[in-house]
Structure 1
Amino acid sequence: MALALALTFGQAHGADWAKSTDPLVVVATPSDLRVQVQNPPTFAWPRHSTNPAAYVLEIRSGTTVVRTYTANRNWYLPSVALPNGTYTWRVRPSTTTEWSADRSFVVTDASTKFEVPEDSTLISRVTSKARPRGLQSGLPLYVNWPTAMQQERGQYVTWLSNEVKRQITGLGTVKDSDWPLQTSGVASAEVAAQTSAIRSAINKLTRQLEGSVILYRLTGDPIYLNEARRRGDEMVALDPNGPTSYANQDQATRAIIMSLMKGIDYLAADLDATRRANWLRIVTVRGEAMYNALAQAKGDMDQFPLDSHGGTAIGFLALASTLALGDIPEADKWFRFAFRFYVSSMNPWSGPEGGYGNGTAYGEYTIDYYLQTWQALGQATGVNLFDKPWSQGFLKFFMEMMPPGTRTHMFGDGHETAPEMKFMKALALRYKTPQAAWYARNLVGTEDPLTYLQGPYPMPALTVATPAPPPNAALFQSIGWAAFHSDLRDMTNRTSVFFKSSPYGSFNHSHGDQNSFVLKKGGVGLLTEAGWYDWYNSPNWSGWYRQTKAHNAITYDGGIGQVIDGWREPKAFNGQIIAYGEYGNTYYVAGSAATAFPTGAMTQNIRRLWYLRTSDAVVIHDQLASPIARTFEWNFHALAPINVDAAGLVSVTNAGRTVCLRPVSDGLRFERRTGGASLAGTTEYHGAFVGTSKVTSKEMLIVLDVGCKNPAIRYDSTSTNRTLTVGTDTLNIPR
C-alpha cells in the first residue's frame, strides 16, 4: 500500500520578554497546548532583564484565575496537581505589571500525578525521622532474613562482603600528594589523565566507605564499622582546597560529601561524637563550596540549565543536605536551593517525556548517579523519583535505544564503547511494569550490590507476573531521536534502525550528526558511527570524532559538515524531527538539518527514512539544496570491510550479518574514504556515495537491503506522483 506523509511538528510563540534568543537560556514551558506528562508541571521561563527578587505566576482556566504563585527564582513547581482541563499561564516580575505572553497547556487523564510537598513540609518530615533516614526502614539483620529475601539478594551480600574485605588491604591510602597538577581550567592530555585518576581514586574510596557502612548495618560485624571509620577519616584528611576541591575536581567533592553524609546517617549512633563532628565539619566546608559555586547569581543553572556536571552536583547536594538537616546549619539553605530544583527539572537533556540528548553512554553514567542519590532521597523525604514521569520515560529511552543484545552505545561521546547493561537492568528493576520486567529479565549481568542492597524489597520488576516488550517503534521528540525494530523480542536476529535530528545540535557531548542514522542486526553494527572518545576537547575529538563526516550523514565538497565549534553555536546550529508515523509494518521519520550547517550554506537538508518491517529494508530519501553548486556526499561507516562486487553492488558483512546498499537515484558514484583514529582493537571502514557533478540541489534515494535478499525495486515518477516499490511495499516519495 502507498503511504502518505506523517504527522508534522512545529511550534510558534508570540514575541515577549519570556522568550530568549540565546539558545542556552531556559525555554519558557509548558506551552503550545501540549498535554502535560506530569501533573502539576514545572513552570520555567527566562529571567526578566531587571533580574527581580521574585515573580508572580498566574494560571487561568478560560478567563478565571485558578492559581497564583510567588516564585523567588525563574521557575516554579506547584505542590498540588491541577484538575483536568486546558490552562493558560503567564508570569511577571513582582515589582511590575509587565506580563509575559500567554502560554497554554493541557492536563488530561494521561498526565501522571506527581506531587512534591513544599520545602517546609519536607524539612519537617525529614528531621522528624530517626536515623538512618536514607535506608528502607524495618529491614532485619541479614541473619534474620526470611528465605525469600535471602533468595533474592543474599548473593549480593556475599559479593559486597568479598569486595569490601578484599579492599581493606587492597585499596591503598588516598592522599593529596598523589596528584601534583592543578587541573582547573586547563585542557591537556596530562590534565585529563589526572582528572580521571582523581575521580577513580575517590570513587573507590567512597565506595569502600559506603559498602562498609551497608554491611555493618546488615550484619553488625565490627570489621565493617572499623573500615568505615578508617575510610571516612581518610576523606577528612584530604585538603578541601587541594586537588579534590570543588574548583579543581568537582566530581571528587560531590562524591566525598555524599559518602560522608551517608556514613553519618547510616551508622547513626554507632559513630562516635568526635569522629562525627569531624566528618560533619568537612561536609560543611565542601558543601559550602559546592553551594556557592552552584548558587552564584541566584543559580546560573536556573537560566542556563545545560550543565551536565552542575546538574549531577545539585543532585548530590540535594541528598547531602537532606541527610544533614538538623546537624549542619547550612544544610537548610542547601536543601531549599537544591532539592526542589533537582526534583522539578530532573534533567535538561530532554523534555518531560524522557530521553537523553547527550547519548546513551552518558545516559548510562547518569543512571549510576541516580541510583546513588534517588533511593536514599526517596527514603528520607518520601518523594520517590522513580515515580516521576520523566524517569519512566528515561527507562523507555533505554529500552528502545539499547535493547537486549546491543553491543555498542548510540550517538554522542562514547558511542563506540560497549554498554554496561547492569545499569540499565538496575533502573528497570525499580519499575513494576510489564515492559520494565521484560527488559530487566532479558539483560545480561547483575546489578552492583552496593545499589541493589539499598534498593526496595522486593524489587518491583521481580513482582510482575507477565513481562511484555515495549513497542517496536518509538519517538523522543524533544531530543530528536527515533528507533525502529523488526521485533524487540528477537535478540539474535532483530533489525534495529536509529535516527537522530536533534534540537540539541552538537552541544556538550553531542556530535554534528543531525539527520544521521545507525543500522544494527542482532545488536551487531552494520552501518555505524566512526571514531573513538579519547578525552573531551582533544584534537581527535574535535577534528574527527564529532565531525559530520564521521557519521552516516550528508556532507559536501570533501567532508564539510555541521557546526561543532564554539560555545553557543553547537546548540544553535541544530536539527529537528519534522514528521513521524507508524503505519502497520512500516515506520517513518523525517528530519530537517539545514540549520545545523554554517549560516547560509544549505537551504534544504531533509532526510526521510522508512523502515519496512515486511521487507526488512530501509529506504532513505535526502533532499538537498544550497545557494551555490556543491558536490554532495552520502557518508556511511562500518566495522567490517565495505565490499564492491563486479556489478558495483556495495555491501557490508559483519559477524554473519549483511546489508546491501542499493542507490535508486542517478548521478552517484561510490568512493572509499579515510577516517581518523578508531578504538583500539577495532578497524573501521568508510565510504560515501558522491554526486557526479556540482549542483545547487540534489535528491538521493537509497535502499538498504538488510540480509541482501535482492528484492525487486521499482521507481515510478509522473508529473503528479512518485512511488518506490521494494518487494511488496510501496511508498509515496514526496517532491
Structure 2
Amino acid sequence: MTKHVRLKRQAIWSLLFFVLFGSLNFSPATQTPTAQAADSGWPADKLRGLNMPFRPTDGLVTTQNPPDFSWAHIAGASQYQLQVGRDASMAAPEFDVTLNVNYHNFPVTFDTGIWYWQVRYRTASGWSDWSTVREFRIDENAVPFPVPDLQGLISQVEAGHPRIWTNAEDLAAFRALRLEGKSKQIFDTLEASVIANLNKNVPNEPTFPYMNNEVPTSSAQFVEAQRVLRNYSEAALGLMVDSAFAYLITGNAAYGADAKSRLLKIASWNPFGSTKYEIQDQVHRAIAYRSAIVYDWIYELLSPTERQTVQNMIQTRTGTLIDKVLVQHAIPQNPYDSHGWTTMGYIAIISVALMHDLPEADDWFARTVPAYINILPPWGGEDGSWSQGTGYWQWSSSSNKELMDILLSAGVINLYDKAFSRNEGLYPLYMFPHGSPTGVFGNDAHYTPGAPSVTMLNRLAQMYQDVRLKWQAEAIGVPTTGLQEYFYGDADLGSRPPMDLPKGKWFETTGYVAMHSELYDPDRTSLYFRSSPYGSYSHVQAEQNSFIIHAFGEPLAVKSGYYDFYDSPHHRGFTKQTFSANAITFDGRRGQPIENIDADGAVLGFATHPDFDAVTGDASAAYKADLTKAMCHL
C-alpha cells in the first residue's frame, strides 16, 4: 500500500469518525426559526414557535451586505432600538436606530469583517433588557444590498404606466422581443389564443353551492366545489390577462378592447359573493392582483369612470387581504404562513400597479414591500433552500418571482441581489434534479421536475449567467408556455453540466442533505435526508431524520401517502404522520407530532468526499418527551 493511499484512507476514516460521533460543522450557522441565544430578558414564548426569528443569527457569515435584521414582535411594544457595532461590548455602536417595526434593512453597506448587534423593545413599563449580543461576519466578496428607506422606495416607483414587467423607457425593446427566438414562440402562441377567443362572451360571475357552509369546509364535497370555482375563475382571468398582454406588446386596439371588457365584467363580480376570501382565498386574491396588472397594461384605454370602477373593486378586495394577512395574522410578526406570505406579495404587486392613482396604494406599499424585502425567504435563508420541500418550492418560487420582477421593472429594488436569490438555483440542482422520479419531502412531492422548474431555472440562469442552471433546464426538457417565459432566459448563454460541484450538499438553513452518485446522470443513485429546524408545520410532515432513496430513475425508499387536499382524512391521518416516512416510530407507530413548528431536527455534521458522503441527524427534540434520544447516521 502506497503512502498516498494510506493517507487518503486515514483522511476518509477521520472524516467519518467526526461526522458519526461528533458534531462536525463545515459551514457557519445560518438562519433558522429557532432562537440562537438565551435572550433571557425577552418573553420565552417569543423565542420559539411561529414568531419572527432573530436575524442575522449568531455566527452567520453573510454574502449579503448588509444582511437582513429581524427579531420577535412584542405585543404592546411602541418602539424597538437596534444597535450594530464592531465591538462585542456594544459600548459605542456604529448604528443606533429606533423603529416601530420588528425588522430593518439598512440603506448603506457595511465594512467587511466581524460585526455585533442587539435589540430591545419599549412598552408602557419602559425599555426591556437588551437581547443577547449576536455576532456576524460580512464576507469580503459579499454583494451589496442597501435598501432605501420607505420614502426612497416609493419615490423610485415609475410615475407612469406601464410599470409591470416593463416601463415607458424599456417598452420598445420589450415589444421587440416578440420578433425572434423563444419570445416569438411564446407570443405567437398567446396571440393565436387571444384571436381565437376575441368573440367569446365574457364569463358571468361564478356560483358556489355551499355559500352558507352547508357541508363542512374540510369535506371532499366542499374542496371539489372550490376546485371547480378556481378553475372557472382562472380561465376567466387568464383570457383577460392574455388579451391585455397582447395589447401591451402590439398596441392592437381589438386586443385592448377585449381586455377592457373582460376587466370591467370581472370588476362587477361581488367581492363578498362566491369569490369572497372565505370561500376560496386564492380566487379572491387572484382577481385583485391580476386585475391590477391588467389595469396597468391598458391604463390608457380606460376612461376616468372606468378607472374608478376598477380601483373600487381592487380596493375592496385588497382591504380584505390586508385584514387577513396583515392584521388578523400579521406576516411581519408571524411569517410562517404559506398562503399568507404569497398574499402579502400580491398586495405589494397591487400597490405598485395602482401607485400614484389610488391614495391607499401608498399605505399598502408601506405595509408590504419593506417587510417582503426583509423576510424573503420566510422558509429558508442565504443558502437558497426552501424548507417546505420541492413541491412547494416550485409554487412559492414562482409567486416570489412575480413580485421580484415587478419591483425590478418598476424601478424599486433588485431582489435578485439577495443572498437567498443568488443561491436558490442550488436547491433544485441538488434536491430536484432532472430525471427524479418524484420530488422529496412535504406536500406535492409527487411532482417530478417539469415546467415550473424549467421556468425558474431559466430565470435564475439568465439573472446570474449560470451555465449549470441553464443545462439543468435543458436536461429536464419540458416546454414552457407561461407569460413570464416571454422575457425569461438568455439565448446567448451557454450550458454546461455541474461537473465542478461536489456530489453532495447540506443546506444548513433548512436541514436538508442531498447525496448523489453523479449530479449530471439521470440514472444516478440519490439519497435525500431531512433533519430540519422548521418542524412539521404547514406543508411539511412529521418526518425528522427521515430519508428517501432514488436510483436509476426509480423510487426505492419512498415517502408514502399522497396529498389529495390539505388536512383530508388521509392527509392528516397518514401522509403527515411519521409512520408514512422512513423514520423511527415506537409503541405501535407512535412518532413525532404533526403541525408543530417546534418539532425540530438538526444536522449535527455532514461530510462530502469523492468517495463517500456522510451525515448525522438528531431528531430528539421532535419526539418531545417521548424519546430521550433519536439519532441517525447515514
TM-score range, shorter chain: 0.7 to 0.9
Is residue 26–residue 45 contact of structure 1 (8 Å, CA) maintained in 2? yes
Change (3 A) 1:8 1:201: farther
Distance in 1 (CA, whole Å) between partners of 2:323 and 2:568 is: 30
Following superposition, the deviation at residue 507 of structure 1 comes to: 0.8
Secondary structure (helix, strand or coil) at the match of 2:132 reads coil
- Residue among 172, 176, 182 paired with 1:140: 172
* Counterpart for residue 231 of structure 2: 200
1:52-80 Cα shifts (integer Å, max 9, x gaps): 22211111111431111222111111122
Query: 1:206-221 alignment to 2 at 5 Å?
Result: 206-221=237-252
Distance in 2 (CA, whole Å) between partners of 1:141 and 1:303 is: 41
Following superposition, the deviation at residue 166 of structure 1 comes to: 4.1
Change (3 A) 1:511 1:106: same
Q: Does 1:444 align with 2:477?
A: yes
Distance in 2 (CA, whole Å) between partners of 1:117 and 1:102 is: 26
Aligned pairs, number: 595
Distance in 2 (CA, whole Å) between partners of 1:222 and 1:296 is: 42
1:361-406 Cα shifts (integer Å, max 9, x gaps): 1111113323433222210134222332212333211111111112
Following superposition, the deviation at residue 343 of structure 1 comes to: 1.4
Name the aligned partner's letter for residue 166 of structure 2: L
Secondary structure (helix, strand or coil) at the match of 2:180 reads helix
* Counterpart for residue 531 of structure 1: 561
Is residue 39–residue 82 contact of structure 1 (8 Å, CA) maintained in 2? yes
Q: Does 1:252 align with 2:283?
A: yes
Following superposition, the deviation at residue 440 of structure 1 comes to: 2.2
* Counterpart for residue 121 of structure 1: 152
Q: Does 1:464 align with 2:493?
A: yes
Distance in 2 (CA, whole Å) between partners of 1:168 and 1:191 is: 33
* Counterpart for residue 373 of structure 1: 403
Distance in 1 (CA, whole Å) between partners of 2:24 and 2:212 is: 51
Distance in 2 (CA, whole Å) between partners of 1:248 and 1:203 is: 15
Following superposition, the deviation at residue 170 of structure 1 comes to: 7.0
Following superposition, the deviation at residue 127 of structure 1 comes to: 4.5
Query: 1:394-413 alignment to 2 at 5 Å?
Result: 394-413=424-443
Query: Comparing both chains, which one has the higher relative contact order based on Cα–Cα distances under 8 Å and sequence gaps of 6 or more?
Result: 2
Name the aligned partner's letter for residue 621 of structure 2: T
Following superposition, the deviation at residue 151 of structure 1 comes to: 2.1
Q: Does 1:189 align with 2:214?
A: no
* Counterpart for residue 18 of structure 2: 5
Name the aligned partner's letter for residue 482 of structure 1: V
Name the aligned partner's letter for residue 294 of structure 1: V
Distance in 2 (CA, whole Å) between partners of 1:555 and 1:219 is: 61
Query: 1:542-621 alignment to 2 at 5 Å?
Result: 542-564=572-594, 570-597=596-623, 599-609=624-634
Secondary structure (helix, strand or coil) at the match of 1:406 reads coil
1:96-147 Cα shifts (integer Å, max 9, x gaps): 34322212211112433222222212212214355345425434389x8489
Is residue 206–residue 259 contact of structure 1 (8 Å, CA) maintained in 2? yes
Is residue 406–residue 522 contact of structure 1 (8 Å, CA) maintained in 2? no
- Residue among 481, 484, 506 paired with 2:515: 484
* Counterpart for residue 433 of structure 1: 466
Larger radius of gyration, structure 1 or 2? Answer: 1
Distance in 2 (CA, whole Å) between partners of 1:117 and 1:42 is: 13
Change (3 A) 1:94 1:185: farther
* Counterpart for residue 301 of structure 1: 331
Q: Does 1:85 align with 2:110?
A: no
* Counterpart for residue 106 of structure 1: 137
Name the aligned partner's letter for residue 540 of structure 1: H
Change (3 A) 1:421 1:171: farther
Contiguous gaps of at least 5 residues in structure 1: 610-735
Distance in 2 (CA, whole Å) between partners of 1:600 and 1:418 is: 37
Query: 1:624-635 alignment to 2 at 5 Å?
Result: none
- TM-score in terms of structure 2 length: 0.88
Following superposition, the deviation at residue 12 of structure 1 comes to: 4.3
Distance in 1 (CA, whole Å) between partners of 2:293 and 2:601 is: 43
Structure in which a larger fraction of residues adopt strand: 1
Contiguous gaps of at least 5 residues in structure 2: 1-8, 30-35
Change (3 A) 1:487 1:182: farther
Secondary structure (helix, strand or coil) at the match of 1:579 reads strand
1:635-678 Cα shifts (integer Å, max 9, x gaps): xxxxxxxxxxxxxxxxxxxxxxxxxxxxxxxxxxxxxxxxxxxx
Change (3 A) 1:210 1:390: same
Is residue 422–residue 448 contact of structure 1 (8 Å, CA) maintained in 2? no
- TM-score in terms of structure 1 length: 0.76
* Counterpart for residue 713 of structure 1: none
Secondary structure (helix, strand or coil) at the match of 1:556 reads coil
Change (3 A) 1:26 1:401: same
Secondary structure (helix, strand or coil) at the match of 2:506 reads strand
Name the aligned partner's letter for residue 321 of structure 1: S
Distance in 1 (CA, whole Å) between partners of 2:602 and 2:458 is: 29
Q: Does 1:312 align with 2:342?
A: yes
Name the aligned partner's letter for residue 474 of structure 1: K
Secondary structure (helix, strand or coil) at the match of 2:316 reads helix
Q: Percent identity?
A: 27
* Counterpart for residue 155 of structure 1: 185
Following superposition, the deviation at residue 531 of structure 1 comes to: 1.3
Change (3 A) 1:468 1:66: farther
1:231-287 Cα shifts (integer Å, max 9, x gaps): 212221111112222343221222112111111111231233332221111111111
* Counterpart for residue 333 of structure 1: 363
Name the aligned partner's letter for residue 606 of structure 1: M
Change (3 A) 1:58 1:397: same
Is residue 454–residue 478 contact of structure 2 (8 Å, CA) maintained in 1? no
- Residue among 273, 279, 287 paired with 2:304: 273
Query: 1:378-397 alignment to 2 at 5 Å?
Result: 378-397=408-427
